[in-house]
Amino acid sequence: MNILIKNVNILTMTEENKTIIGDIAIVNKIIKHIGDVPETFKADKIINGDNKLAMPGLVNSHTHIAMSLFRNYADDLPFWEWLTEKIWPVENKLKPEHTYWGSMLSIAEMIKSGITCFADMYFFMDETAKAINQTGIRASICRGLAGNKNEGLEKIDINKKLYMDYHKKGDGRITVMFGPHAPYTCDPYYLQKTIEVAKELNTGIHIHLSESEKEIEDSIKAYGKSPIQHVNDLGLFDCHTLAAHCVHLSDRDIEIIRDKNVHVANNPGSNLKLGNGFARIDKLLKEGVNIALGTDGSSSNNNLNMFEEINLAALINKGVNKDPISVSAYTSLKMATINGAKALMLEKEIGTLEEGKKADLILVDLNKPHFYPKFNLISAMAYSAQASDVDTVIVDGKILMENTEFKTLDIEKIQYNASRCAEELVK
Amino acid sequence: MNILIKNVNILTMTEENKTIIGDIAIVNKIIKHIGDVPETFKADKIINGDNKLAMPGLVNSHTHIAMSLFRNYADDLPFWEWLTEKIWPVENKLKPEHTYWGSMLSIAEMIKSGITCFADMYFFMDETAKAINQTGIRASICRGLAGNKNEGLEKIDINKKLYMDYHKKGDGRITVMFGPHAPYTCDPYYLQKTIEVAKELNTGIHIHLSESEKEIEDSIKAYGKSPIQHVNDLGLFDCHTLAAHCVHLSDRDIEIIRDKNVHVANNPGSNLKLGNGFARIDKLLKEGVNIALGTDGSSSNNNLNMFEEINLAALINKGVNKDPISVSAYTSLKMATINGAKALMLEKEIGTLEEGKKADLILVDLNKPHFYPKFNLISAMAYSAQASDVDTVIVDGKILMENTEFKTLDIEKIQYNASRCAEELVK
């Protein structure tokens, strides 16, 4: 289908602190023209861009979407009580159907809030792939892996099968990485086995690293090294690595991350909520590290709202560094778009609005009191916007939401079934 | 008018971590019944509360609403450059009409996001009072005062006149305090003069205290004491005091704040954005200090979104204290409701949903993907909600917004005029 978005403010994310006004022409899955569109362009559908802003769809670079079933189930608890007494017992009861409805609920929430692509790690990922196929969103998925020499090796095969079945499938909207959960849940043998298969298939690794202080202490006790140094010595960073959290980093860790081109998924909301603290984002950015942004699962957040994470990323680094120019509005928006695309190995396809790239974009409705007066639309997106300001969502050239109405999913049915699944799990 | 809200989830904020389901009956300005409403109750208007949550309207306990005219005008700048090269020059051009349209814009934004009451400090406050009168919102206002023995004393008279003209006016929705800006803009003589008049009229003082590290250093240089100790020695805390910010406090400062029953307006978003850091909220709460919550002006935030501040208050204290049980969801909601009412000397009228209190309440629409499943509505309000989830706003028994539509103001006209004023000021 040919879509023409007329007379819209455009934040391409290709040029620092710049917006333009013009038209956008989409031909099938691809952005054909941006800014000036030839008068001869024939559109099947015309969208009026008046008082709207078009920007790249947001990339949620670290999440566990099916965990929306546990949203607001266990809050304001000490971390270990939360994890071992609340989350693990319900996760143990999880069946494929639960992952499906949890995934559908989260995809609905993500589309509604302008997220067009996400990186997911969880169980029963065929169900998540099914939800991605049905709804039209884009994702990099992996099977959460945990184990050692004697246990859990079959999960690596499950992740491999996931790769075989889904990588570049769903019209090319699905890609597959490997998902070793963390160095404290995967022993060195297990990590090396995973690295081997990821290298063999030439894909990336999505892993949690250096999230809590306890993790650092335990790693030093067990291996005499930080988690970053430990997995680096195992060769993990020879694969493209999407490393979630990276909250507690030494200067040496940061050097390794920089030198090995590790992509960091910063999750400010989750790190705060679980009491883990503040990642050294300003320092990482100054070293040239690619920092993406994620929501984490909605049991530790408790939503999948990238506008909140953008706002947090821009605000908390100023507070932590006592520096009002730390992490600018534009930088936080980069983290949520093109940096996320890089972290997911998708920067050639998405992350900016450019001719030839996939048409993954959102329209933000600027006709809201909190967007007046309109001095600076980049500041507005980082500091004033709410997720609910997203009006229209296009992925792969297909409209998934228009005028805040879903086009590819039945939200009442999803909310009903997700609630039913959640009740089943906790009873 | 008699209003009946039927079959609604109710967060009264009178009992820790508790919601009920029932009806709410409003007679004119007052909540007549809550929970069970007699069958004989005759309603002029019935609101269906299905899949909604009723809670007290939010109290924005520190702001400068007309500064919405400078929203997104000057961001990501060093603090002094922002203030002296950007904000002060445009403020110097401010005329009454600007304050009026800036106030109208902010009141629209506040109503839309569930704020029913605010504490404002600025210039041309008659214009703000006019906007309050016209829109039906509730507020505590004061004239921003700055001066010394030789300068600015007439402003104290202006604030006194404001008190005479507006205190308990606007159907009782307006109250007036005195607004000495800060100890670094008001010399001891000027502060004492202000204290005298506030005492004479038996009203409160709204002041900025201990916002930046520089302020503490300068105070120690000038007076040999912290700002808290300095104004305490001047007798300021003998008046009811609403102290905004209080970011940088010594243990001795906290003792004074506790012993003198100073009410603190925490502004987490503004403190982060301007690089001022983190207030010691956990410690203040443990000492029993009343902590309210505010947005500050939207030139340093850049919106008037109390749901963002609630979320920030619950999240950042966990991060700062590395403690996932620091500042719970319920506590952050208290800060935004009953604690705000106390700080504004209005706790007998508003801040909780109770029979006999003023009918200042909001309905939050729970039919959103980010509210499913519904395990805990208190967590949902603090961690999952967006300001845009507010559906209906009632102040003083009058409906100001219903089904997200304004009932007392013309938003297109306001947005147009606020934009025009903003352009005039910056050109």
Do strands A390-395 and A361-365 pair parallel, antiparallel, or not at all (unpaired)? Answer: antiparallel
Confidence band of A78 (pLDDT split at 50, 70, 90)? confident
Rounded Cα distance, B18 and B341, in Å:
20
Cβ separation A322–B276 shorter than 8 A:
yes
Task: Tell me the residue type at A383.
Answer: Y
The rounded distance, in Å, linking the Cα atoms of B303 and B309 is 10
Q: Please say if the pLDDT value at position B78 is more than 90.
A: no
State the pLDDT at residue A354. 98
Residue with tokens 């308990």: B168
pLDDT in tens, B132-144: 999 999 999 999 9
Amino acid B347: pLDDT: 98
Do A75 and B376 count as a contact with CB atoms less than 8 A apart? Answer: yes
A82 touches chain B (CB under 8 A): yes
The pLDDT tens digits for B305-321 are 999 999 999 999 999 99
How many contacts, defined by CB atoms under 8 Å, are there between A and B?
Answer: 220
What does the pLDDT average to over A25-37? 98
B213, closest residue in chain A (CA to CA): A322
Share the mean pLDDT of chain B: 97
Asked if A274's CB is within 8 angstroms of B414's CB, the reply is: no
Task: Report the alpha-carbon distance of residue A246 to residue A271 in Å, rounded.
Answer: 10
Listed in sequence order, the residues at least 6 apart from B405 whose beta carbon sits closer than 8 Å to its beta carbon are none
Q: Which chain B residue has its CA at the smallest distance from A308's CA?
A: B308
Instruction: Please check whether residue B374 is in contact with residue B6, taking contact to mean a CB–CB distance below 8 angstroms.
Output: no
Compute the mean pLDDT over every residue in chain A, rounded to the nearest whole number. Answer: 97
Q: Provide long-range contacts, Cβ within 8 A and 24+ apart, for A401-406.
A: A401/A111, A401/A112, A402/A47, A404/A112, A406/A108, A406/A111, A406/A112
Which H helix or E strand runs over A142?
A: strand A138-145
Nearest CA in chain B to A78: B324
Confidence of residue A297 (pLDDT cuts 50, 70, 90): very high
Instruction: Give the CA dihedral A135, A136, A137, A142, nearest 10 degrees.
Output: 80
- 0.80 exceeded by pTM: yes
- Chain B residues in contact with A9 by the CB 8 A cut-off are none
Residue A318 contacts B, CB cutoff 8 Å: yes
Among A245, A137, A140, which Cα is nearest to A183's?
A245
Task: Yes or no: say if A143 and A205 are a contact pair by the CB < 8 Å rule.
Answer: no
Enter the tokens of residue B75.
């961001």
A22 C-beta neighbours (distance < 10 Å), count: 17
Q: Which of A381, A293, A305 is nearest to A115 (CA)?
A: A305
Taking only the tens place, the pLDDT of each residue in B212-239 is 999 999 999 999 999 999 999 999 999 9
pLDDT of the residue at B181: 98
Token digits of residue A297: 């699962």
Report pLDDT for B285: 98
Amino acid, single-letter form, for residue A105: L
* ipTM over the 0.95 cut-off: yes
pLDDT, tens digit (0-9, with 9 covering 90-100), for A368-424 = 999 999 999 999 999 999 999 999 999 999 999 999 999 999 999 999 999 999 999
How do residues A331-378 score in pLDDT, each as one tens digit?
A: 999 999 999 999 999 999 999 999 999 999 999 999 999 999 999 999
When pLDDT is averaged across residues B121-139 and rounded to a whole number, the result is 98
Q: Where are the alpha helices (DSSP H) in B116-205?
A: 125-135, 153-166, 188-201
Which pLDDT tens digit goes with each residue over A103-146?
A: 999 999 999 999 999 999 999 999 999 999 999 999 999 999 99
Candidates A277, A376, A423; nearest CB to B319: A277
Quote the percentage of chain A above a pLDDT of 90.
97
Side chain identity at residue B350, one-letter code: I
CA distance B270 to B293: 11
Residue A400 burial (10 A CB sphere; 0-12, 13-18, 19+): buried
End-to-end Cα separation, chain A, in angstroms: 47
Q: For residue A158, which amino acid is it?
A: I
pLDDT tier for residue A40 given thresholds of 50, 70 and 90 = very high
pLDDT confidence of residue A316: 96
Q: Which residues of B touch A72 (CB under 8 A)?
A: 373-377, 379-380, 383-384
Check residue B121 and give its pLDDT: 98
